[in-house]
């Protein structure tokens, strides 16, 4: 089982970047239980690898980033199994959200249901022009169950998120950009390069400061302004105590590129 599970998410590492590729193209990279476990394991491995400075998640093939939860498997589940399945989805996507390094979603086709929820768990989202996204679960008699009701509201606001979730509407890449669901839209043939260029740019930023920036910006959506500002002070102090801060200021004064140590 371990060997089979590992192949469900292909991982490539190069020059400080890790690319995770969902690898079930025949079923549009649907997120069954084994794929969710493989995704969480891949993120764990990235977190343990200090040479990785940024990550990309995409799907195999050109049709789908991920069509979402495995509907065929869900149709055969009892209610208790469904509860366990959604818990597994939440745990896997929380690992993406909590990843030590910034994660870029490269949406190379449809991202529906759990597929869009996976993209929303990433830090930045780049989509190909032909991509379509949505949370169509309502049309199946259920609701988004991998965090979509919370992350979509936080990303685009309550009214717009409710419309998409209540109606199960799918939108194209241009509309997804206008709504704020994705951050960049590029031609299909440019997607891999654009995502890699963005990830490389992130990888060149100081790791300590990036981790703290990720921590405090997420808190801005989850806490009061007063608590968030206290957290910002703590995070700033953490960066100020780092070797990277010393190097960054010195490099600026010496008019050279900084050499980040990640500590």
263 residues of the chain, pLDDT tens digit each: 333 445 999 999 998 999 999 999 999 999 999 999 999 999 999 999 999 999 999 999 989 999 988 777 777 778 788 888 899 999 999 999 999 999 999 999 999 999 999 999 999 999 999 999 999 999 999 999 999 999 999 999 999 999 999 999 999 999 999 999 999 999 999 999 999 999 999 999 988 889 889 999 988 888 888 888 888 888 878 887 887 777 778 777 878 788 877 77
Q: What pLDDT shows up at residue 252? A: 79
Q: What pLDDT shows up at residue 165? A: 97
How many angstroms separate the Cα of 162 from the Cα of each of 117, 135, 158, 187? 15, 10, 6, 29
Q: What pLDDT shows up at residue 41? A: 96
Co-location of 148 and 183 in the same domain: yes
Domain span including residue 146 = 2-203
Distance CA 59, CA 226 (A): 40
Co-location of 137 and 241 in the same domain: no
Q: What pLDDT shows up at residue 133? A: 98
Helices in 7-123 by DSSP H: which ranges?
33-48, 71-75, 79-97, 114-120
Co-location of 16 and 134 in the same domain: yes
Burial class (CB in 10 A: 0-12, 13-18, 19+), 129: middle
Q: Quick check: is 130 in a domain?
A: yes
Q: Quick check: is 243 in a domain?
A: yes
Q: What is the CATH number of the domain that holds 231?
A: 1.10.12
Co-location of 66 and 116 in the same domain: yes
Q: What pLDDT shows up at residue 82? A: 80
Co-location of 132 and 248 in the same domain: no
Q: What is the CATH number of the domain that holds 14?
A: 3.90.226.10
Residue 22 forms beta bridges with which residues? 9, 59
Number of structural domains found in the chain: 2
Residue 19 forms beta bridges with which residues? 12, 56
CA torsion angle for 206, 55, 13, 257 (degrees, to 10)? -20
Q: Quick check: is 240 in a domain?
A: yes
Buried b (16+ CB within 10 A) or exposed e, 179-207: bebbbbbbeeeebbebbbebbeebbebbb
Active site residues: 117, 137
Cβ distance 204 to 258 under 8 Å? no
Cβ distance 69 to 145 under 8 Å? yes
Co-location of 149 and 230 in the same domain: no
Backbone angles phi and psi of 14, in degrees to 5:
-160, 125
Cβ distance 87 to 94 under 8 Å? no
Co-location of 75 and 183 in the same domain: yes
Co-location of 33 and 135 in the same domain: yes
Q: What pLDDT shows up at residue 134? A: 97
Q: Quick check: is 263 in a domain?
A: no
Q: Quick check: is 262 in a domain?
A: no
Q: Quick check: is 55 in a domain?
A: yes
Co-location of 216 and 135 in the same domain: no
Co-location of 24 and 9 in the same domain: yes
Q: Quick check: is 18 in a domain?
A: yes
**pTM of the shown model:** 0.90
Co-location of 217 and 131 in the same domain: no
Gyration radius (Cα) of the chain, Å = 19
Distance CA 59, CA 106 (A): 8
Instruction: Return the ∠ at Cα 122 (arms to 238 and 80), rounded to 5°.
Output: 115
Q: What pLDDT shows up at residue 170? A: 96
Co-location of 190 and 219 in the same domain: no
């Amino acid at each position: 089982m371990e060997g089979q599970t590992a192949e469900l998410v292909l991982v490539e590492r190069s020059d400080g970047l890790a690319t995770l590729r969902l690898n079930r193209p025949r079923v549009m990279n649907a997120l069954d239980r084994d794929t969710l476990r493989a995704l969480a394991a891949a993120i764990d491995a990235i977190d343990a690898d200090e040479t990785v400075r940024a990550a990309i998640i995409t799907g195999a093939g050109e049709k789908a980033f991920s069509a979402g939860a495995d509907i065929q498997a869900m149709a055969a589940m009892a209610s208790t199994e469904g509860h366990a399945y959604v818990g597994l989805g939440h745990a896997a996507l929380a690992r993406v959200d909590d990843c030590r390094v910034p994660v870029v979603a490269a949406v190379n086709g449809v991202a529906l249901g759990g597929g869009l929820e996976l993209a929303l768990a990433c830090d930045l989202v780049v989509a190909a022009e032909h991509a379509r996204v949505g949370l169509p679960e309502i049309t199946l008699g259920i609701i988004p169950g991998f965090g979509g009701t919370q992350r979509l509201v936080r990303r685009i606001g309550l009214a717009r998120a409710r419309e998409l979730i209540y109606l199960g509407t799918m939108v194209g890449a241009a509309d997804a950009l206008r709504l704020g669901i994705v951050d960049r839209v590029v031609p299909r043939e440019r997607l891999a390069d654009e995502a890699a260029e963005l990830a490389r740019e992130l990888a060149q930023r100081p790791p300590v400061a990036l981790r703290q920036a990720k921590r405090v910006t997420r808190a801005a959506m989850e806490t009061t302004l007063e608590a968030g500002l206290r957290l910002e002070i703590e995070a700033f102090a953490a960066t100020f105590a780092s070797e990277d801060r010393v190097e960054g200021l010195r490099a600026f004064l010496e008019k050279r590129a900084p050499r980040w140590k990640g500590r």
